[in-house]
Amino acid sequence: MRRTALLACATLLTALLPMTTAAGAPGSDDPAPVPVDRFEGEVPFASPPAGGLFTWGGDTDDPPALRLAAREDAPEGDHVLTGTYEISGYGGFTHDFAFAEPAHDWSAHRGIRFWWEGRGNGRKIAFELKDGGADGEASELWTTSFTDDWTGWKQVEIPFTDFTYRTDYQPVGGIDHILGLNETWGYALTLPVGVKGDFAMDGVELYGRADQSLRASVTTDAAVYPVKEGGTATVKVSVATTGAAPLDDPVTVAYESAATGTAEPGRDYTPVAGTVTFPAGTPSGATRAVAVRTLADKRAESAETVPLRLTVTGAKAPAETPQVVIDAHGLPYLNPRLPVKKRVADLVSRMSPEEKAGQMTQAERGAIGTGADIASYNLGSLLSGGGSTPTPNTAGAWAKMIDGYQLRAQATRFQIPLIYGVDAVHGHNNLAGATVMPHNIGIGATRDPRLAERTGAVTASEVRATGVPWDFAPCLCVTRDERWGRSYESFGEDPALVESMETVVQGLQGARDGRDLKDDDKVLATAKHFVGDGGTAYGSSTTGSYTIDQGVTKVTRQQLEAIHLAPYRTAVDRGVGSVMPSYSSLDILGDGRGPVKMHARADMINGVLKGRMGFDGFVISDWNAIDQLPGDYASHVRTSVDAGVDMMMVPYSYKDFTATLIAEAKAGRITERRIDDAVARILTQKFGLGLFEKPYADTSGASRIGSAAHRAVARQAAAESQVLLKNSGGVLPLRKNQKVYVAGSNADDLGNQTGGWTITWQGASGDITQGTTILEGMRKAGGDVTYSKDASAPTDGYDVGVVVVGETPYAEGVGDVGNGNDLELTSADRAAVDKVCAAMRCAVLVVSGRPQLIGDRIGAVDALVASWLPGTEGDGVADVLYGRRPFTGQLPVTWPRSEAQLPINVGDAVYDPQFPYGWGLTTLTRVPEGGLATLKGLGAAAAAAERAGADEVGRTLVGKARLIVQQKMGRAVTAAAAKPFADADHLLLTGRYGKAVERLTAAYRAAP
């Protein structure tokens, strides 16, 4: 039955329905109930845009299984809707009305009710309405829940007034933030997580009559109203109705300043009381103003609150009592002319244990709803995890969201601003339309420290313009095994390369002394993950199905210092403001401790990082990382804090953490000195960022987000990151007069070329943000291009083929090899390579976060390019393909012949790769003539440059020698030549130019 027909015959249907209700007999003037779903087959199982019931979930296992079952005990009719579920992420089902038909008008009714067969499990089930908008998948979401705490059939009644605007997700952002009900598109139920269960449901219908007190609501324009002492706060009181209809009856709002706040009436403010009236006929959205005048007593004071109690007649009252806050004033910590150290000391001396615990706590924005808990728990920080964004996902919405959270912090006693953090690991990658850079592996391939700094500066500018002052980047991991799912987060396998790319810290933060942090285009950087995250052994992870991520790094003390700690010494020297420990465990051979989680290693955090290295910023934990420590929760908190972790990222357990930290401190198991040190470190960075003076977003730079200038930097980075591994017969660069056949899964997929940590944590294939694919870049470059993704189109008549293959997005341990991933091309990609390269001269581009095993096809491929994950600017890849820029990239990691070789790294005693670390052919640059004699001369000149400290000259000389050697080695890369070649690049990065040419000369001699 079509939905319109069903509703049209509602009166006839309801005459046949039983009318037992949970709330007793209906009122005599109530309209007849209107059926929505009887589950007798009138509503099909169908997906949008068709009308019907459909399931959904976080992954393939999460959607429930639904069916219509015949039941003798069915409350209505003969059938009920039943389902089974076992949900690990999220899952449920929806009834969307058909998009091609008008939305339904539910505004005349009191609420919605249905029969539910209780299991008595005490689980909450979320019930959601879809209101307004274009259709059921582009509407506003309003939510409430009921608790399954009974057994057998029961009719559940939910008044529409119980529904609240969903704050964690909205498909199209805020439409009008009013539950209008005159354009309703359906409903949805979210089922319990973490249990295996079943359910039965029947007879969904609208009930009761909507009187004005249930369909009109009174709101205020904010929950907090900061005002300077002696100033006047203006509270705007508004009335809104479902359906946006004018008021039928008057609404009165009696207001009174309550003496329950911390401000003293008569001394701090003038008490107010009165009534505002919205007469019958007042349009929805009308506003009245209430003024609260504060008094100046010229005494230094912390912030004081004046609750404005509202008593509403004829409408629903606001969910919260608005508070006027008289700003803190006259206290030393508020004086920007004082040294930061004195401001910090003054503020810490005034804080209670509860306020200190709050500063050490970071919650996820999705956990705090409207944000009232920010003041209740004195929270010091919030974050957006991967994919945790406002809706709409725009720069303006980000700034508005964060400003709203900062406003909540103004209701605390000392008005300590929040520090908001995001994982902007290759641009402001959570923000749609932002400039997305190549991932770090590609930045390492550029060998261009100045460019790395510029990418950091672009990222900082775009992040700060949305109100975010803190970036959880850069990752200073030294990747030692490409089976690791985070390989692309590393600049490379050589600590010297990682150190050279740490110019990105200055791009993010500015000057090493932190004086630029308060600027509107700089953010606090985070060196992560301390220490050894890139050295975990394959098979050592105990986290879920991960195989290597979060595992154990087993090293000697010397290896730890030389490989994994070295980048952190550089970061501390560069003034990095925060450090994040690794999930992984560290096993230092010979220390007798075995594997110990980094969040528990006081010897490394307190001893090495803060002590020996002199790090004076603060340490932030990784996401729920303390939960991986042994023992009970109190020991998790105690161990991590004592180890030197200053702030805990406890996204959804912030209440438990703060309560536990306070209890441990009051019991003396965590010292006051340690807590004061942590809080002082955090506050020092907040003062340095200028947040006390300017807590709200400075959006003056928002116009630069995704701008042509910023994308030009990303385009250059994409171009310089391309590593030309093979180029037989000069296939590359392409010429514009050539007919080019393009194929492969990653030629025209923006999501695949940006990789994980793009818009969402894991990333996704497809057009997930704004940018240019490699195929689009080739077309814009003026090439004569034909595209066939699977190479099914005829291949006759083309001069050259370009096949773009590689990986699909992943992040962290989800991408570990052995966790559903490998280093092989897909069968479709292999087929495309085989077909195109058999038909014409061909170039293969590998878009991936790590090397792929292509040795079995290397002979059939004329040109091979490691494209890494180039970001949103596919134009940069096209620039080198068509010769607008030369290929100059070099391998940041060793390219293996087989997975059996892994781990394989520069400096290994046995080293026989497909292509060695540092390898990278070039185009449009003439290789210097000569052989050993030329190399001898270059070596002498390089040694002289080294002695003179002429680094630029030394690097140029080594680069010339490398080109000579690569030209000879290109015929066949052997183990005898590969090892000294790779060693030479490490020597170059450490400033030993003469020795680098010596090793290149050895590689030349060994090449066949």
- In this structure, are residues 487 and 479 in contact, taking their beta carbons and an 8 Å threshold? yes
For residue 940, what is the DSSP state? H
187 residue type, one letter: Y
- In this structure, are residues 480 and 433 in contact, taking their beta carbons and an 8 Å threshold? no
Q: What's the rounded Cα separation, in Å, for the pair 840 and 42?
A: 58
Q: How many CB atoms lie within 10 A of CB 627?
A: 12
| Residue 134, helix vs strand vs coil | coil
CA atoms within 13 A on the CB side of 484: 30
- In this structure, are residues 129 and 184 in contact, taking their beta carbons and an 8 Å threshold? yes
Q: What's the rounded Cα separation, in Å, for the pair 459 and 471?
A: 9
The CA angle 325-329-330, to the nearest 5 degrees, is 165
The residue assigned the tokens 């037989």 is 728
> Order of strands across the sheet with 232-241?
216-220, 232-241, 287-293
297 residue type, one letter: D
Provide the Cα torsion 570, 573, 579, 583; round to 10°.
20
280 residue type, one letter: A
| Residue 347, helix vs strand vs coil | helix
Nearest to 159, CA basis, from 179, 139, 189, 138: 179
Q: What's the rounded Cα separation, in Å, for the pair 664 and 40?
A: 58
Q: What's the rounded Cα separation, in Å, for the pair 704 and 635?
A: 46
- Determine whether 812 is an active site residue: yes
Q: Which residues pair with 528 in a beta bridge?
A: 475, 580
Integer CA distances (angstroms), 227 to 238, 642, 851, in order: 21, 39, 58
- Write out the two tokens for 229: 């002492």
| Residue 606, helix vs strand vs coil | helix
Phi and psi, residue 363, nearest 5° = -115, 160
Catalytic residue among 812, 862, 875, 998: 812
> Order of strands across the sheet with 470-471?
470-471, 419-422, 381-384, 361-364, 648-649
Catalytic residue among 183, 533, 622, 875: 622
Distance of CA 733 to the CA centre of its chain: 37
The contacts of residue 116 (CB under 8 Å, 6+ apart) are 146, 148, 153, 154, 155, 156, 199, 200, 201
The contacts of residue 936 (CB under 8 Å, 6+ apart) are 1001
- Determine whether 622 is an active site residue: yes
DSSP letters spanning 823-860: SSPPHHHHHHHHHHHHHS-EEEEEESSS----GGGGGG
- Write out the two tokens for 703: 């116009």
Q: What's the rounded Cα separation, in Å, for the pair 542 and 813?
A: 11
- In this structure, are residues 517 and 510 in contact, taking their beta carbons and an 8 Å threshold? yes
Nearest to 900, CA basis, from 538, 451, 644, 431: 538
Nearest to 637, CA basis, from 669, 684, 676, 591: 669
DSSP letters spanning 246-278: PPSS-EEEEEEE-TTSSSPBTTTB---EEEEEE
Rounded to the nearest 5 percent, the helix, strand and coil shares of the chain are 30, 25, 45
For 552-555, the CB contacts below 8 A with 24+ separation are 552/584, 552/585, 552/586, 552/587, 552/595, 553/584, 553/585, 553/586, 553/587, 554/587, 554/589, 554/595, 555/586, 555/587, 555/588, 555/589
Distance of CA 120 to the CA centre of its chain: 37
Q: Which residues are catalytic?
A: 622, 812
